[in-house]
């Protein structure tokens, strides 16, 4: 497995996003299947494992911690806080809450350390910037926890170039994690270049566009009631029908490159710069190995240019998030009218 750098860490160029095992796309897989995927990734040379307090309201951290504890020295363990499940209302049911106050950040870190079964988290992200709290305050508390030896490196998720620079002025950011793929190219509006300039790794989640770029997701009418894609405009039947029209061209370019469509999508990301690291998620050992095969795919400049043109932002129908979720992120967006997929 080729290696890339995140701060002081040398890690596998392709990591594993662990969310799918416990969260987001319907009912989670069994603990046994989750363990199989995690250990298969480890055996295949993956050393970058990414989880969060939010995923399964702590269940994902507990799974990752239990399975990988015996291999702790071999991996770079990443988690996120500032967006967690908190009891809300009379029944006390857990709901997703964004809370970046310093005391809440400290509470989240302590809880994550317990679930992960470790005394230090290698890379800890602010999962979402709480816009009610200055980014300097949230990052300042993360820096204090780092000084106490509870965190080794710090990162942010889904923030703009301006917010990234503000945070980096308070404490060095090792990584920015945001959605980046052929159909979500907001990174190219500033943060990708800023990360290169500042020596910050760009960790790309959803590198195969939540299964769209695998070419296997043709019908979006059967999503589970808890599948988060149900609320995403790009996956509404009308928008998705238009987005499907791009996949034949994508499949043809994959054949030309001698790889699968999923591998082509991740190889494209790896070619965006040495600071870019995709973290695909999967519940299947077979798909895991397919994803990791992208590390050996080489793309010509001409093929990359044709991919860029095929998936130009104005060709994508539907926004990344609905209005509520869009308001929760701080990423740059394409100007209204220039791209339907802002």
Candidate from 81-90, 277-286, 319-328 with smallest mean pLDDT: 81-90
pLDDT at 336 over 70: no
What would the mean pLDDT of 86-108 be, rounded to a whole number? 92
End-to-end CA distance of the chain: 34
Taking the C-alpha atoms of residue 234 and residue 317, their distance in angstroms, rounded to an integer, is: 6
pLDDT over 70 percentage in the chain: 98
| CB count in 10 Å sphere of residue 304 | 16
pLDDT tens digits for 316-327? 999 999 999 999
Burial status of residue 32 (CB atoms within 10 A of its CB: 0-12, 13-18, 19 or more): exposed
Does 112 reside within a domain? Answer: yes
- The C-alpha angle 201, 204, 206, rounded to 5 degrees, equals 170
What would the mean pLDDT of 62-79 be, rounded to a whole number? 98
CATH assignment at residue 143: 3.20.20.100
pTM metric for this prediction: 0.96
pLDDT for 340 equals: 47
pLDDT tens digits for 99-144? 999 999 999 999 999 999 999 999 999 999 999 999 999 999 999 9
Residues 6+ apart with CB under 8 A from 14: 1, 46, 48, 266, 270, 277, 278, 279, 280, 291, 292, 294, 295
What would the mean pLDDT of 70-94 be, rounded to a whole number? 93
Q: In terms of residue numbers, what domain contains 174?
A: 3-210+272-298
Does 218 reside within a domain? Answer: no
Q: What confidence tier does 90 reach under pLDDT thresholds 50, 70, 90?
A: confident
The whole-chain average pLDDT of the chain stands at 96
Question: For residues 44 and 289, is the Cβ–Cβ distance under 8 A?
Answer: yes
pLDDT tens digits for 144-188? 999 999 999 999 999 999 999 999 999 999 999 999 999 999 999
Does 130 reside within a domain? Answer: yes
Q: Domain count of the chain?
A: 1
CA distances from 293 to 15, 31, 263, 265, 267 (A): 12, 25, 7, 12, 9
Does 266 reside within a domain? Answer: no
CA distances from 174 to 54, 58, 132, 195 (A): 21, 24, 24, 9
Burial status of residue 196 (CB atoms within 10 A of its CB: 0-12, 13-18, 19 or more): middle
| CB count in 10 Å sphere of residue 270 | 22
What would the mean pLDDT of 26-50 be, rounded to a whole number? 97
Directed axis angle between helix 102-116 and helix 59-68, to 10°? 40
pLDDT for 113 equals: 98
Q: What confidence tier does 192 reach under pLDDT thresholds 50, 70, 90?
A: very high
Report which DSSP code applies to 184. Answer: B
Question: For residues 99 and 81, is the Cβ–Cβ distance under 8 A?
Answer: no
Does 48 reside within a domain? Answer: yes
Measured in degrees and rounded to the nearest 5, phi and psi for residue 144 equal: -65, -40
Does 316 reside within a domain? Answer: no
- The C-alpha angle 215, 301, 2, rounded to 5 degrees, equals 75
pLDDT at 50 over 50: yes
- Collapsing DSSP states into helix, strand and coil, what is residue 215? coil
Residues 6+ apart with CB under 8 A from 296: none
Question: For residues 315 and 172, is the Cβ–Cβ distance under 8 A?
Answer: no
Which carries the bigger pLDDT value, residue 87 or residue 317? 317
Residue numbers annotated as active site: 55
Does 135 reside within a domain? Answer: yes
pLDDT at 337 over 70: no
Q: What confidence tier does 61 reach under pLDDT thresholds 50, 70, 90?
A: very high
pLDDT at 202 over 90: yes
pLDDT tens digits for 254-274? 999 999 999 999 999 999 999
Q: What confidence tier does 95 reach under pLDDT thresholds 50, 70, 90?
A: very high
Does 267 reside within a domain? Answer: no
């Amino acid at each position: 497995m080729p290696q890339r750098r995140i701060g002081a860490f040398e890690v596998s160029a392709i990591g594993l996003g662990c969310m799918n095992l416990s969260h987001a796309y319907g009912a989670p897989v069994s603990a046994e299947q989750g363990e199989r995927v995690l250990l298969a990734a480890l055996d295949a040379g993956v050393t970058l494992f990414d989880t969060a307090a939010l995923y399964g309201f702590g269940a994902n951290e507990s799974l990752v911690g239990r399975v990988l504890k015996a291999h702790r020295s071999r991996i770079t363990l990443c988690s996120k806080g500032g967006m967690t499940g908190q009891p809300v209302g009379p029944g006390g049911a857990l709901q997703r809450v964004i809370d970046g106050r310093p005391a809440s950040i400290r509470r989240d870190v302590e809880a994550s350390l317990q679930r992960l079964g470790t005394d230090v988290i290698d890379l800890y992200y602010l999962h979402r910037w709480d816009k009610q709290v200055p980014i300097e305050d949230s990052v300042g508390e993360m820096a204090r926890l780092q000084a106490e030896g509870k965190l080794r490196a710090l990162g942010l998720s889904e923030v703009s170039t301006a917010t990234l620079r503000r945070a980096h002025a308070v404490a060095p950011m090792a990584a920015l994690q945001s959605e980046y793929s052929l159909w979500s190219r907001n990174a190219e509006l500033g943060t990708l270049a800023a990360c290169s300039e500042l020596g910050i790794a760009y960790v790309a989640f959803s590198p195969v566009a939540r299964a769209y770029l695998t070419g296997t997701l043709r019908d979006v009418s059967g999503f589970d009631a808890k599948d988060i894609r149900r609320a995403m405009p790009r996956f509404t039947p009308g928008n998705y029908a238009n987005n499907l029209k791009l996949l034949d061209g994508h499949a043809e370019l994959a054949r030309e490159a001698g790889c699968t469509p999923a591998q082509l999508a991740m190889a494209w990301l790896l070619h965006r710069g040495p600071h870019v690291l995709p973290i695909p998620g999967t519940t299947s050992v077979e798909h895991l190995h397919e994803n990791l095969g992208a590390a050996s795919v080489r793309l010509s400049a001409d093929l990359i240019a044709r991919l860029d043109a095929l998936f130009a932002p104005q060709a994508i129908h539907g926004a990344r998030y609905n209005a509520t979720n869009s308001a929760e992120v701080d990423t740059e967006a394409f100007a209204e009218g220039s791209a339907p997929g802002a």
